[in-house]
């Protein structure tokens, strides 16, 4: 497994661009979108690394060799915990094998152009490499509201704030994000998933949006105006989600908010709805306060966010695709994405991987 340090070294940009060029291949682009967008975003820190079994020594990728042994790209940064530490794309994820949404395919029964033992070996080597990297200090300062074990409120997945942050204190546990359903059985076979399955393996619909076809009108009632969130709003954002959002990350993310046009100065400066573009360019932290729901504001926010705040990601000449994750069973969010023209194309998971089992 080859490890490329993405901490601002002179070769960083060339290595990343080589991977992006490879993943623009139409065979991979859609499925690889989470990793592709994460690399586009940047924010590479001392703990940021790209791992692959591909030869990038010459910073070129030979697509003609793709039909051989399985290969992968993995971005890792453990210094961002308790946020997502790993984004992964494996060549087996584009296999024509159908995936049953919400259920795991068994390794023994799925058909694949690759040898299953080769994939297991490759993932095992990746885990060994992750373990060798060690655990750098987190760049984030913990917020009491994100780790309060007395807060038992749960989201649509049945998870509380303490559930989401539970892995942060264990150096052996890594949080992997947007992991394709076809990769989960291999991790299960390797027996490296954290035993807390109820809080670590939750299926999400992966929605893909063609931004150029989104037609939601952006006109607002006179009582509401467009605006941007700033640092003084982040405590409110954190209070409305069980996921431990971090101020340093929120400050780096493009965002869009809605604010009242009347009331006191304080009321006018407090957002009533907001959404962010995540580190993987996904729709993140979308929220509308209860008094402002059923007005179509979530659709307007999402459409304008994708149209106006994703220029960085659309500068490569590829399709203007955006993405969003909806926990299976959250019918309201699923319906909103469908109304915007989004298509639930596959299933992904956020999983805790235990390096102590490697």
Mean pLDDT of the residues in the chain: 86
CATH number of 212-346: 3.40.630.30
- How many angstroms from the chain centroid is the CA of residue 50? 16
Q: Mind listing the pLDDT tens digit for each residue in 147-163?
A: 454 566 766 556 656 66
Residue ranges of the domains in the chain? Answer: 2-206+347-357, 212-346
Of 196, 202, 88, residue with least CA distance to 156: 202
Task: List phi, psi (to 5°) of 74.
Answer: -135, 130
Q: Could you tell me which residues come within 8 angstroms of residue 331 by beta carbon, excluding any fewer than 6 positions away?
A: none
- How many angstroms from the chain centroid is the CA of residue 328? 16
pLDDT category, 304, cuts 50, 70, 90?
very high
The helix, strand and coil proportions of the chain, stated in percent and rounded to the nearest 5, come to: 35, 20, 40
- The DSSP output letter for 81 is T
pLDDT category, 317, cuts 50, 70, 90?
confident
Q: Mind listing the pLDDT tens digit for each residue in 52-102?
A: 999 876 545 556 556 678 999 999 999 988 899 999 999 999 965 434 433
- The DSSP output letter for 85 is -
Residue positions counted in the chain: 358
- How many angstroms from the chain centroid is the CA of residue 204? 11
Q: Mind listing the pLDDT tens digit for each residue in 324-354?
A: 999 999 999 999 999 999 999 999 999 999 9
- What is each CA distance from 300 to 146, 233, 243, 284, 303, in whole angstroms? 29, 20, 23, 15, 5
């Amino acid at each position: 497994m080859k490890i490329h340090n993405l901490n601002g070294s002179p070769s960083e940009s060339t290595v990343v661009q080589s991977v992006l060029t490879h993943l623009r291949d139409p065979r991979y682009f859609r499925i690889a979108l989470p990793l592709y967008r994460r690399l586009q975003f940047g924010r590479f820190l001392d703990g940021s690394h790209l791992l692959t079994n591909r030869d990038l020594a010459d910073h070129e990728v030979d697509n003609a060799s793709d039909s051989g042994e399985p290969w992968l790209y993995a971005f890792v940064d453990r210094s961002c915990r308790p946020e997502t530490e790993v984004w992964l794309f494996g060549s087996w994820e584009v296999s024509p094998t159908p995936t049953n949404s919400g259920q795991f395919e068994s390794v023994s029964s799925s058909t694949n152009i690759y040898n299953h033992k080769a994939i297991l070996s490759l993932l095992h080597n990746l885990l060994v490499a992750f373990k060798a990297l060690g655990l750098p200090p987190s760049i984030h300062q913990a917020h009491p509201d994100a780790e309060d074990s007395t807060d038992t409120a749960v989201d649509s997945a049945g998870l509380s704030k303490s559930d989401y942050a539970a892995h942060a204190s264990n150096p052996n546990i890594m949080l992997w994000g947007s992991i394709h359903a076809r990769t989960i059985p291999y991790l299960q076979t390797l027996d490296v998933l954290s035993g807390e399955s109820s809080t670590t393996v939750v299926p999400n619909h992966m929605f893909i949006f063609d931004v150029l076809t989104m037609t939601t009108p952006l006109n607002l009632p006179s009582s509401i105006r467009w605006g941007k969130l700033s640092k003084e709003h982040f405590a409110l954002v954190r209070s409305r989600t069980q996921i431990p959002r971090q101020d340093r990350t929120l400050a780096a993310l493009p965002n869009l908010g809605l604010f009242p046009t009347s009331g006191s100065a304080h009321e006018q400066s407090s957002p009533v709805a907001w959404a962010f573009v995540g580190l993987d360019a996904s729709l993140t932290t979308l929220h509308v306060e209860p008094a402002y729901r059923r007005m179509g504001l979530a659709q307007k926010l999402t459409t304008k966010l994708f149209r106006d705040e994703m220029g960085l990601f659309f500068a490569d000449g590829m399709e203007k695709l955006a993405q969003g994750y909806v926990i299976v069973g959250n019918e309201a969010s699923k319906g909103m994405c469908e109304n915007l023209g989004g298509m639930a194309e596959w299933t992904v998971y956020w999983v805790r991987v235990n390096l102590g089992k490697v």
